[in-house]
Structure 1
């Protein structure tokens, strides 16, 4: 089982005390050279005037972008404590049962644009870098990850089901191919308005966090896409829809009340 999640837009402030990220201690040491490259390029880009806009971020994040310059010396937090958005509030790692927490630590991986795939308890430093950014000397961040992630992700997925809750820019860096795609399930979230399905955004993030939580708390590990939909159907109306590229979509219906405040698109 592999549950893939995107990083949240909201991130906690850096810890006041503690050790900085030890790149050699992060999982998948084969990714260390790219992590080093991205850290250095991000520090250079973040020190320039207008850095937030150049990275594709809002001006309101200028102070947080400035912190990117010091990521190598800033104290780290567990990944699950860095990401603070609605998806991670729904997953609510801290309130999982002991068994559910162990499963989450084994199965959940966050697809960070800076750190690569990290588990809930891996120590990382809060940062600002979207997957769609372009960095000096590096190029597009997503393209650099696509060039190296394949073997790592294939090993993580093994022969189990891959449940993908990532947004499109993060999902673009890797997805199973060939026969492995048969066990790939991408989560989409809709609500119904006047009899038709409408894509939602805020509620989609929340629902994807709930799907991850439900899987981690399940008594039995779902070992097929059909088992995943059967599990989720115990909580929300849902169905499996074939993906023309291979694999499946898990289409989940969010309650209209939860989707009422949603803005934008998923």
Structure 2
């Protein structure tokens, strides 16, 4: 099973590992596109105004541009420790035992605008690039990743893929056979609406449950059983969609 998480805008600083080596990352068939994007971001970082425009940054976010300027020389750390935010707080890898952390490295992947997707153990630097960005001189990220990303992820997975990426990142490499999760709020009158604020939190809880379980789900019903045992309220909406109710 491969559980594919969305990335986050926020990332931890620093790291204790050697600088980025694209050849060491999982899914080596993506190396050429990764190198093109890294080089483009590094070059773009020399122009503050152009970086702000392309990356949607404000004048106080110079530190994000500095991160991109140092992509080839900055220290790295495992991707699972690099990304931060609501989903990763709910996943809470700091509380994992050694065995659970080993499972996380084996079962988790993370979507990425810069790298396409990485495994949890892949060592990457901090960077700034969003799925909807368009870099000067290049096509959209969707046009760059779509021809190859889904195939690379499918080859990397062993069995079921649970795709928890947001819509923007799913579009970079759509995986039609993956199980997805939708978070809905149910009101007192029984009506339901799409959740925004708690979406990432509940997907983080689902990812945690799928990481630490001893089960090996092979379909959406297996995913639902794991989620229910973890205390989540879920329904099977279709053969490929799980609904999490809050």
Q: TM-score, normalised by structure 1?
A: 0.85
Q: Deviations over 1:131-182 (max 9, x none)?
A: 1111122211122111221331121234x221111111001122334xxx2x
Aligned position for 2:242: 250
Correspondence 1:1-12 to 2 at 5 A: 1-12=1-12
Long gaps (5+) in structure 1: 255-266
Figure out how many residues of one structure are paired with residues of the other and give that number. Answer: 243
Q: Deviations over 1:57-107 (max 9, x none)?
A: 444433212321121111112212211111111111232233322221111
Change over 3 Å in CA distance of 1:57–1:192 after alignment to 2: farther
Aligned position for 1:260: none
Q: Tell me the distance in 2 between the aligned counterparts of 1:228 and 1:58.
A: 41
Aligned position for 1:135: 135
Greater CA deviation, 29-38 or 55-64?
Answer: 55-64
Aligned position for 1:239: 235
Aligned position for 1:191: 185
Aligned position for 2:36: 37
Q: Tell me the distance in 1 between the aligned counterparts of 2:19 and 2:213.
A: 35
Aligned position for 1:122: 122
CA drift of 1:39 comes to 0.7
* Structure 1 stretches of 4+ moved >6 Å: none
The RMSD of aligned alpha carbons is 1.8
Aligned position for 2:102: 102
Higher relative contact order (CA 8 A, sep 6+): 2
Matched, 1:216 2:211: yes
Long gaps (5+) in structure 2: none
- Do the aligned residues in 1 keep the contact of 2:148 with 2:173 (CA within 8 Å)? no
Aligned position for 2:26: 27
Correspondence 1:37-116 to 2 at 5 A: 37-50=36-49, 51-116=51-116
CA drift of 1:45 comes to 2.4
